[in-house]
Amino acid sequence: MSKRLEIMNYQGKKVKTKINLDKLDEIFMIIISICSGDEIAKVIYKNGTTETYDSSDDRVMNFDDGEYVLFSPTENHIKEFENRTTTYDDFGQYS
């Protein structure tokens, strides 16, 4: 079974995406945005396609809380990301 990236909503509920972490060689970049405390993952594949996954399906307000690169050719913060306890853990240091 493949390992999938999990993103978190503002309440701390984790949502599994279709981003396969066992196939990072196919991914160019993963960007995490935080909107009103909810994580949104945008994956850019090496073949040029993109996918976006939102941890919320009922957000009322859209406050931009920032974004950071989770994975790229020069960065890989997935292990730290997997150990976060809230969406506001100090990942801004990677932006």
SS3 of the chain: the string is: CCCEEEEECCCCCEEEEEEEHHHHHHEEEEEEEEECCEEEEEEEECCCCEEEEECCCCCCCCCEEEEEEEECCCCECHHHHHCCCCCCCCCHHHC
Please indicate whether residue 89 or residue 38 has the higher confidence score (pLDDT): 38
- Whether 90 is in a domain gets the answer no
Query: Number of folded domains in the chain?
Result: 1
Q: Which domain holds residue 36?
A: 4-84
- Whether 92 is in a domain gets the answer no
- Whether 91 is in a domain gets the answer no
Mean pLDDT of 30-58: 96
> What is the per-residue pLDDT for 86?
86
pTM for this predicted structure: 0.90
